[in-house]
Amino acid sequence: MIAPSDLIGPITDDDIEWARRVLKLQALDAPRRAFLKSLTTLDVSACPGSGKTTLVVAKLAILARKWKSTTRGICVLSHTNVAREEIAHRLGNTDVGQRLLGYPHFIDTIHGFVNRFLATPWLLSAGYRVAAIDNDLTTRVRRRHLSPGDYFTLNGYLEKKFISFDSLRLGSANFATPLVNTSFPSGAHTKMYQLAASALQHAAEQGYFCYDEIFLLGEALLAQQPSLPSILQNRFPFVLVDEMQDTSEQQNAFLRRLFPRDVPAVCIQRVGDPNQAIFEGGVKPVADAFPDNIRCVNIADSFRFDASIGALATPFAYIPVQPSGLKGVRPTAVAGQGLPHTIFVFPDNDTSGVLDAFGHHVLATLPASLIASSAVTAVGAVHKPFPDVEPGHKQYPKTAAHYWAGYQPGADRPTYRPRTLAENFLAAQVLASSGGPLHQCVDSVASAIVHLANLLAGTTQIRSSSRQHVQVEKRLANADEARAVYRGLLTRFVIGREPLTEALWAQLCPVLRMLGAALAGGDANAPTANDFMAWPTTEPPALPADLNRAQSVPANSYRYIYGNTSVDIRLSSIHMAKGQTHSATLVLETFNQMHFLHGLMPWLVGQHQNGAKCASDKAMQRLLQAYVAMTRPTHLLCLALRSSSLGTKKDIATNTEKLMARGWQIQHLAPRAAADESADISGGKED
């Protein structure tokens, strides 16, 4: 079999300079050049802000430019399509970019690869169709197969066993026995088992599957075709796995079977950062663990931040950053001096002054041009609402939502969809009241009504669209009554923002169901829409009391105003912030088994370094999340710490000195009642 190097030829300094010119890259150091030139199996451990994605695109551009085969290609796998999107953005108008995005090369997610080359071929060869690979659609088909009474009985039984119906998965590619090899809580002779098996069997035979069931179907093909790995290795002699730290052990095992790293005829290069493994349970001892310290290139210098942030974040790397910690290479000074990275120490039961203090610090520290052009963010390890946890509770503050009541988890995601139709209406009202674009509010409600229509129809009759309102209007062109209802709803609740109450919602539900059925031809009374039509169980978002303050404020952004200046502080979870770059980042104290930053005090004061002292998986997760959060900012890093975390009265001075010695400034926040009497700053209102 021809080695990968024979399909490419040596990569020279001239090739690297060509890539630098095309992609407008700055000078590349020895580790980066070593990766670009390598045509053998190796790992790349790249720190945050090291330009990893751009480096991967440069490597792929060089490979595509020199690639000799027209039938064998480069395979790029990841968890997202960031690499493909970056190639399209940076190289889309070039011959090299077009080559990369077409045959014989393949750039997609790991799920996409298994679906295309294993799962779909097995399904078609077995006589099944492929309708959808989608968790929501598949669960909907499974529910609809059962009668309302049977579903209610089965769901109630599962909830008593602390299992959700939505979490049921195939255990066998023999769809007649779908629950074999699963831990279903009752035996095959029971009614509950038979109901669940019937629902899973029906959906599978109709071609509906959940995302993680793709691997089960892939295993079925591998069992039938044991020579398939060698066929795929011949088809893809060069494999690059991006964001390797987020690969689960199931996915890693699958990749090992298809593309073993000890096969000379295949070059397997894995790129990632093990210290950012916050999605798959952390850094664990798995077979063929990443990174391979024997065959590894380490990139430890970051263009994102300066040496001061690098020094503060280095102790929080679970795996020590080689060779000697993070190296921030961004110029150190703003206005000729280093920046004051600050810990805001707040009273345990009063978070009300934290965002204002951070906003004031940002305005006083960073240039207005920088604030206007980049994100200022406050992130927490926990961000979902916990209305039962109030000041005085031992877990307070438990969530990012405890720092600002206006926070709505997930509302700033491009793919965000509130859990219920009522929440869609309420969110649109909040956006409209805060000065958001009216067309966006209308399209948001239209999209939710389309989702209702698809639920009532049992299948996706109406596809998502960037102009969902126009699509709804077209479908109702010949349905005068339904169109009048639709327009009336928009006028009352989006344009007029009529208050929506639980009692009013109960009156509207039959009308909305009629509208949804008219859109997609479904059953207006179909139980598949019951959950989506329910009134939200959590407190609905409040409309802004001061519309001037909220004017044009982005979703989940707290606006701090001081004099004639202001800054929007975007609240988010640490998981959502991964991969982002901020000008200033505030890490918020939250609670999960223990307070997040409190549990990291030994690392903050210099008592511990890296992961050697992590006594549990939860401690490891805290360290990984802290590392991710602390490596987001380009200029200013801040923390919000409960006052009790500094210890007893005799320990406060000692711990404060240790924190300051490590580069932190300390600012103590007074309780809000006292601060309101004397402070010369005000958050969220004009002075």
The one-letter amino acid code at 551 reads: Q
Exposure of 302 by Cβ count < 10 A (0-12 exposed, 13-18 middle, 19+ buried)?
buried
Please, what is the end-to-end C-alpha distance for the chain in angstroms?
74
> What is the identity of the amino acid at 349?
N
397 belongs to an annotated ligand binding site: no
CA–CA distances in Å: residue 490 to residues 136, 487, 529, 680 = 27, 5, 21, 43
The reply to whether 46 sits in an annotated binding site is yes
Q: Is the peptide bond before 226 cis (omega within 30 degrees of 0)?
A: no
Residue 48, annotated as binding a ligand: yes
- Asked whether residue 374 is marked as a ligand-binding residue, the answer is no
CA distance 259 to 450: 42
DSSP output for 219-234: HHHHHH-TTHHHHHHH
Q: 542: annotated binding-site residue?
A: no
Burial of 382 (0-12, 13-18, 19+ CB in 10 A): buried
Provide the token pair at 291. Answer: 């990174």
Q: What's the rounded Cα separation, in Å, for the pair 568 and 74?
A: 43
Burial class (CB in 10 A: 0-12, 13-18, 19+), 208: buried
Tell me if 521 is assigned to a ligand binding site.
no
On whether the CB atoms of residues 450 and 471 are closer than 8 A, the answer is yes
Distances (CA, A) of 512 to 263, 271, 446, 456, 477: 59, 49, 12, 11, 17
Do the Cβ atoms of 390 and 396 come closer than 8 Å? Answer: yes
Give the whole-angstrom CA distance, residue 178 versus residue 175: 5
What is the H or E stretch that residue 74 is in?
strand 74-78
Q: Is 51 annotated as a binding residue?
A: yes
448 marked ligand binding residue? no
Residue 667 near residue 344 (C-beta atoms within 8 A):
yes
Burial of 175 from C-beta contacts in 10 A (0-12 / 13-18 / 19+)? middle
Q: Which residues are annotated as a binding site?
A: 46-53
Binding-site residue positions for ATP: 46-53
